[in-house]
């Protein structure tokens, strides 16, 4: 958890520096860009923040707190995102009667490409994730730790609601690269190789 916190603080500092530089460049270099063209480049680089609604909702259904936050930097039609999330999976979604209370702390680095300018509309992305998991066994009543390394690909749509405040429906497919598992007696648990995700983000960028 400390590692994710320090990375998050570092990204905030980086975002502040880039934002100040971006404002200066736009003021000095792009004063005459016509705003009447809907896909003209008004914003060449920016930094943004967003929250994903799925982890807190999923955790709330188990009576626990969850979180998800991302910081991102965009240049022209490209974006790189640092994502941090923590949540508890509902037992009914685990598909295993011998284990319970699966908690996941995820860290991800994702690269996206937009179809349009100004960081809006459709995007496609891919990246890597690390899931630090803890799970409890119903057999021996102990808690076990294991880690998944994941390749991910997804797509979404950024809809500007007011200025640079936006909502972002999105979907992704995850593929677990390693084969780590928890074995208790004759029972074992390991993450499904392929997993899907569908959610909604709320965000803002400079």
- Residue 125, domain CATH: 2.40.160.20
Looking at the domain assignment, is residue 31 inside a domain?
A: no
Stretch 191-204: mean pLDDT, rounded?
A: 95
Looking at the domain assignment, is residue 35 inside a domain?
A: no
Portion of the chain with pLDDT greater than 90, in percent: 71
Looking at the domain assignment, is residue 18 inside a domain?
A: yes
Residue 57: predicted pLDDT: 95
The range of the structural domain enclosing residue 176 comes to 2-26+43-205
For 79, the token pair is 């974006």
pTM: 0.79
Confidence grade of residue 7 (pLDDT, cut at 50, 70, 90): very low
Residues shown for the chain: 206
Residue 86 confidence (pLDDT) above 50:
yes
Residue 42: predicted pLDDT: 81
Looking at the domain assignment, is residue 38 inside a domain?
A: no
Residue 15: predicted pLDDT: 45
Q: Which tens digits make up the pLDDT trace of 89-133? A: 999 888 788 999 999 999 999 999 999 999 999 999 999 999 999
Confidence grade of residue 39 (pLDDT, cut at 50, 70, 90): low
**How many domains is the chain built from?**
1
Looking at the domain assignment, is residue 102 inside a domain?
A: yes
Strands, DSSP E only, in 138-206? 143-162, 165-176, 182-184, 187-189, 194-205
Residue 22: predicted pLDDT: 43
Looking at the domain assignment, is residue 33 inside a domain?
A: no
Looking at the domain assignment, is residue 37 inside a domain?
A: no
* Ramachandran sector of residue 163 (left: φ over 0; alpha: ψ -120 to 50; beta: rest): left
Looking at the domain assignment, is residue 36 inside a domain?
A: no
């Amino acid at each position: 958890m400390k590692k994710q916190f320090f990375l998050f603080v570092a990204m905030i500092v980086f975002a502040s520096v880039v934002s100040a530089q971006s404002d200066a460049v736009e003021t000095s270099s792009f004063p005459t860009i016509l705003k009447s063209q809907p896909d003209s480049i008004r914003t060449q680089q920016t930094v943004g923040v967003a929250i994903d609604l799925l982890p807190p909702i999923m955790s709330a259904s188990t009576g626990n707190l969850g979180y998800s936050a991302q910081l991102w930097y965009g240049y022209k039609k490209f974006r790189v995102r640092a994502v941090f999330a923590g949540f508890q999976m509902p037992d009914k979604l685990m598909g295993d009667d011998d284990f319970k209370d699966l908690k996941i702390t995820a860290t991800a680095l994702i690269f996206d490409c937009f179809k349009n300018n100004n960081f809006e509309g459709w995007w496609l992305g891919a990246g890597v994730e690390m899931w630090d998991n803890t799970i409890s066994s119903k057999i021996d009543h102990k808690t076990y730790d294991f880690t998944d390394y994941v390749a991910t690909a997804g797509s979404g749509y950024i809809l500007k609601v007011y200025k640079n405040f936006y909502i972002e429906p999105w979907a992704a497919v995850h593929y677990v690269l390693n084969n780590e598992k928890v074995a208790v007696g004759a029972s074992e648990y390991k993450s499904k190789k392929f997993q899907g995700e569908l959610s909604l983000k709320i965000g803002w960028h400079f």
